[in-house]
Chain A
Amino acid sequence: MSVLVWIEQMNGQAVASSWEVLGKARQVADDLGAPLVAVAMGADINATAELARQYGADLVLTITSPVLENYRLSAYAAGLRRAIEEVEAVVVLTSATTRGRELSAAVACELEAGLAPDAVDLRVEADKVVAVRAIYSGNILTDVTFDSPVQFASIRPRSFPMPEAGEAVAELQPLDLGVNEDQVAEKVLEVKSTDTGEIGLTDAKIIVSGGRGVAADPVKGFAMVTELAQTLGAAVGASRAAVDAGYIPYRYQVGQTGRTVKPDLYIASGISGAIQHLAGMGSSKVIVAINKDREAPIFERANYGIVGDLYEVLPALTAEFKKRLK
C-alpha cells in the first residue's frame, strides 16, 4: 500500500506544481501510514528524480525509455499503471495540468477507480481520501468521497504550498515501461515551443492583468501592463474583452472561459470585474484594482484600489517598485 505521485516533466524540467502535490501527498501518506512514492517518466529524468528525493518522497520510481521522449497519453498511461502495480498504490495523485488531468483520468478509467479531477483540497478521513472540488465554474463546492479501493485525484496548481527541499533519503528504483514504439498509437510529428521564457499564468505568484480599459491605446496599455509584470517577476493576464478585441492572445485570458488562477497578488487594471472574470481570479490572496470608475464591481472584491487612469497609474507603480525592489 502506498501513495503515488506523478512528477511531470516538460522540456527537460520538472513542472513546479508537481512539487506542491508531492508536498501535500507527504501529509496524506503520513495520515494513512503509507510510504510516499514519486514516479518520473521520460527519456531523461535524472534531474527530476533527484529533486523528487529532496522534496520528500520515500521512494522514487524512474521509467526511462525513448518511447517517453514526447508526452503521449497511451505511453505515459502504461507507465503510470506499471508504477501503481509495482508499489500497490491506493492513492494516485497528479497536478491538474492538461497532461496530469488526462493521465490520471485515463488510468483511473482503466482501473475502474474513482477520480476527483482538478481538486482544490485533500484530506484523509477514516483511512480514505476526501477531495474537494469546485464545480459549477467555482460557484459550488463539493466533497468527493471514494468507493473504490484505489483513489485518483488531479490537484489544481497552487492549491498547496511549495514544500521545502530536504535531505534526500529516498532510493531510486528503475522500472521497465514494457511498451515499445509499435504499441503507441499517437505519433508526434512536430513540437513547437511557444515558451518565450515568460512566466506561466497558472503557476504565477503575481499576475498583472489588463482589460478593455486599455482601449484608447491597447498597444501602449499592454506594454505598461507587461512592464509592471516584468518589474515584479509576474505573469501577464487579460480579461476576455481584451482578448476578444484582439489586444492580446487567448492564452492570457483569465476567467471562467480562460484560466483559473490563484496568485498571491492579482493586479487588475482597466477590468470592471464581471462575474466571469472573478470566477477565474476571485480566490487570489490579495487583489488590487486600478480603475477610473469608483463604481466598478471589481472594487467590491479588491483589497486595495486606486481610482485613476491606468495610463498614469501603471507607469507610476512600475517606477515606484523599481525604486523599492532595487
Chain B
Amino acid sequence: MKIVVLIKQTPDTAELPKVAAEEVKSGTIKATMVINPWDEFAAEEAIQLAERFNGDAIALSVGAPGAVDALKHAVAMGVGSAALVDNASLRDGDIWATAALLAAAVKAQGAVDLVLTGKQSVDDNSGTVFVGVAGKLHWPLLTNVIKVREIADGVVTVERLVEGGQETVSAPLPAVISVAKEINEPRYPSFMGIRKANKASIPTLSAGDLGVVTPANKTQWTNIRKPEVRRTQVNIIGGATVQEKAAKLVDALLAEKVI
C-alpha cells in the first residue's frame, strides 16, 4: 500500500487577521508559516493507515522552498518520506495548476493506492484542490471522510459526513480522499520524530522534472483588499431587573425586524 498525503504550508491561523492586502498581492506573506491545520488530520490518517495496512506514507506539497518545514512536520509526526514541488510557475489561487502539479507528483511516486488531503487550506479557503487532483488523475473522490472503515480487494470503504446525514460509501482504488476533522486526533511530533525529520532529505522537484506544462491561469485575483471593519457601537441594555433588560432587548430586536 502506498499512501500519499497532500500538505500545504499556510499562515498560522492566529496571525491571519494581520495579513495585509499588499502581502497577498506580492505573494510575500510575513506571518509565521505552519502546516495547514486541516492537513494534520490527513497526515495522521496516512500514518495510521500505513500502520494498519503495512504500507508507506509519503507527503507531497506544492510550495515555496520554505514549505519544506510543513513537510518536515509531517515526517516528524511519522510520515515516511516527503517531496516538495517548486511553485515558481504558479500564481495566487491557481487551483487547476496546483492540482496538475500535485497529480503529476503523485504519479511520480509509482503505484499509489490512496491520496489523502485536508478539507481546505486556511489561506485559499477553496476546498477544491483535491477535486482537481482526483480529476487530473481520473480517480474517484470521496470528500469529508470521518472514518476509513476498510481497504480490501482493491476497494476502500469510508464513512463520510454530508449535510443532514452520514453515509457509507465505497470506491475502487486508487482513490482520493479528503478528510474531516472528526476522523482522528493528530499527534504531536515526538522528539525522535523531530530529529528524524531534521535529518530527512526532502527532494525538490520542478514542473519540468515532472513533465508538467502548467496550464494557463483561468482566473485572476484582482482588487485584493481588507474587508471593511464593521464599526458597531454596542448598546448595552440597562435595567433594574433581568426581566426589564430582557423586555428592552426584545423591543429593540422587534424594531430591528430581525425576528
A residues in contact (CB < 8 Å) with B: 10-11, 15, 70-74, 97-99, 101-102, 105-106, 109-110, 112-118, 133-148, 185-195, 200, 205-206, 232, 250-251, 256-257, 264-265, 275-276, 279, 282-283, 285-289, 294, 299-308, 312-313, 316-317, 319-321, 324-325
Given contacts A136-B16, A147-B218, contact A70 B143 (CB under 8 A): no
Once the chains bind, are A300 and B234 in contact (CB under 8 Å)? Answer: yes
A98/B144 in contact, CB under 8 A: yes
Known: A74-B140, A187-B171. A147 touches B216 (CB 8 A): yes
Known: A194-B166, A287-B232. A265 touches B141 (CB 8 A): no
What's the minimum C-beta distance from B165 to chain A, rounded to whole angstroms?
Answer: 4
- Cβ-based interface call for B215 (8 A): yes
Per-position binary interface string of chain B over residues 169-187, scored 1 when its CB falls under 8 Å from any chain A CB and 0 otherwise: 1111000000001100000
CA distance A137 to B249 in the complex (A): 31
Which residues of chain B are within 8 angstroms of A302 by Cβ–Cβ distance?
232, 234
Mostly helix, strand, loop or mixed at chain B's interface? mixed
Q: Which A residues are in CB contact (< 8 Å) with B181?
A: 250, 257
* Contact assessment for B225 and A286 in the assembled complex, using a CB-CB cutoff below 8 Å: no
Q: When the two chains form their complex, are residues A189 and B157 in contact, meaning their CB atoms are under 8 A apart?
A: yes
Q: Is the CB of A138 within 8 A of B227?
A: yes
Interchain CA distance A313-B245 in the complex, whole Å? 8
Residue of B nearest to A265 (CB): B258
Residues in A neighbouring B13, C-beta threshold 8 A? 137, 256-257, 276
A-B contact pairs, 24 of them (CB 8 A): A11-B164, A71-B162, A105-B132, A112-B96, A118-B126, A118-B127, A136-B24, A139-B19, A139-B227, A140-B19, A140-B21, A141-B226, A142-B24, A142-B221, A144-B221, A147-B218, A147-B220, A186-B170, A189-B157, A192-B165, A275-B17, A276-B13, A289-B234, A317-B250
A40 CB to nearest B CB, Å: 17
Known: A136-B123, A146-B218. A304 touches B253 (CB 8 A): yes
Residues of B within 8 Å of A294, CB to CB, are 236
How far in angstroms is the closest Cβ of chain A from B255? 11
In the complex the two chains form, is A308's CB within 8 Å of B140's CB? no
Decide: A142 near B234, CB < 8 A? Known: A11-B164, A74-B140, A190-B168.
no
Question: With A264-B258, A300-B234 as given contacts, are A142 and B245 in contact (CB-CB < 8 Å)?
Answer: no
Add 8 more A-B contacts to A117-B128, A142-B223 (CB < 8 A).
Answer: A97-B163, A102-B141, A140-B225, A144-B221, A188-B169, A250-B181, A276-B13, A312-B242
* Cα distance, A143 to B223, chains bound together (Å): 6
Contact with A along B65-105 (1 / 0, CB 8 A): 00000000000000000000000000001011001000000
- B217 touches A (CB below 8 Å): yes
CB of B128 within 8 A of CB of A101, answer yes
Q: A147-B217, A320-B250, A325-B259 are in contact. Are A142 and B222 (CB under 8 A)?
A: yes
| CB <8 Å contact, A194 and B219 | no
Are A109 and B96 CB-contacts (below 8 A) given A137-B125, A143-B223, A304-B249? yes
Residue of A nearest to B175 (CB): A185
B128-145 CB contact bits vs A (8 Å, 1 = yes)? 100110111000111110
- Distance to closest chain B CB from A242 (angstroms): 16
Cβ of B28 under 8 Å from chain A: no
The answer, among A15, A192, A195, A288, for a CB contact under 8 Å with B167, is A192
CB distance B164 to A98 under 8 Å? no
A97: B residues at CB distance < 8 A: 163
Bound-state CA distance A23–B237 (Å) is 38
**Given contact pairs A109-B99, A264-B258, A299-B234, A288 touches B249 in the complex (Cβ within 8 A):** yes
Question: A134-B227, A135-B125 are known contacts. Are A200 and B163 too (CB-CB below 8 A)?
Answer: yes
